[in-house]
Amino acid sequence: MANNKFMGPTPSLIKLPDALDDIRLTGLPQAAYYISDFISQEEEQAILDKIASAPKPRWKQLSHRRLQTWPSDLVNNKLLDAPLPTWLNDPIIPRLKSIRLSHEPDSSDIFSDSPHQKPNHVLINEYLPGIGIMPHKDGAAYYPVVCTVSLGASLCLNIYKSKDDGALDPNPAWRILQEPRSLLVTTSALYTDFLHGIEDITEDVELSKNTIANWELLRSPEEFANGSNVRQTRTSLTYRDVMKVSKLGGKLGLLQKR
């Protein structure tokens, strides 16, 4: 880790894996990775404070959920060129870039082959207890790597298969439990061929080694030993590389206050 030029300052309490291969979810058809302690409690709180202090119009209110889009909404699947604010960049993006994929000598990081070699877009979703997100695919605008940092509380992300007739199989094929401060990386077909969603429930149930794809990688499996996770407010940051960037954004950005 220490030999990587992208390495940001990592607080001593954060011990990242040597390679993503070490923390791969076994049992999923495509690569997915889970790091339970990706950021510290101080970093988590600092980001939550920044989210809370964003001006009101930054929030887009959906019927049950609200979200912020940074640096801005996509227009025709394009990003208007603008940098991410520092608090979304540091420490997360240098840290993402610091982890290599495998132990091979010249192994690259998860964004090495993406158009901009790092994420340029972050969605912030807030989920109150009882609120989730319908099964969906994320669409063609993004390079197929999604890095999700969870803040505040735990919940289950479900991965669904389509049935042969195209209908959604309502029973999730896999469930991934995301703890606060964790990083989940999902890639390729897991992202493009399957759907993902979060149930509208106040308690995740039937949590066990046999039902949770990342059980062995959890920070605190003992917290869920009774099979349940009572939902509290969970906020997620989803980092992605939007493939098409319109330079016009940079010019408009000069006129905007940051």
Ligand X SMILES: O=C(O)CCC(=O)C(=O)O
| Contacting residues toward Fe ion, per CB under 5 A | 138
Q: How far is the CB of 80 from ligand X (least distance, A)?
A: 19
Other Cβ atoms within 10 Å of 194 Cβ, number: 21
Number of DSSP helices (H) and strands (E) in the chain, helices first: 5, 15
123 binding ligand X? (CB under 6 A): yes
Question: Which of Fe ion, ligand X, none has residue 236 at its interface (CB below 5 to 8 Å by kind)?
Answer: ligand X
Report DSSP letters for 51-71, one per residue: HHTS-GGGPEE-SS-EEEEES
Question: Which tokens hold the place of 234?
Answer: 């969970």
The residue nearest Fe ion at its CB is 138
Task: Kindly tell me which residue out of 68, 114, 187, 236 binds ligand X, with binding defined by CB under 6 A.
Answer: 236
Question: Which of Fe ion, ligand X, none has residue 80 at its interface (CB below 5 to 8 Å by kind)?
Answer: none
133 binding ligand X? (CB under 6 A): yes
Q: How far is the CB of 144 from ligand X (least distance, A)?
A: 13
Question: Which of ligand X, Fe ion, none has residue 229 at its interface (CB below 5 to 8 Å by kind)?
Answer: none
> What's the half-sphere exposure (Cβ side, CA atoms, 13 Å) at 155?
30
Dist. CA 138–CA 124, nearest whole Å: 14
Query: Is the Cβ–Cβ distance between 234 and 155 less than 8 Å?
Result: yes
The residue with tokens 């897991």 is 190
154 binding ligand X? (CB under 6 A): no
Looking at beta carbons only, is 90 or 138 nearer to ligand X?
A: 138
Dist. CA 36–CA 176, nearest whole Å: 12
The binding track of 182-201 with respect to ligand X, each residue x by CB under 6 A or -, is --------------x-----
Rule CB under 6 A: which residues touch ligand X? Answer: 123, 125, 133, 138, 148, 157, 196, 236, 238
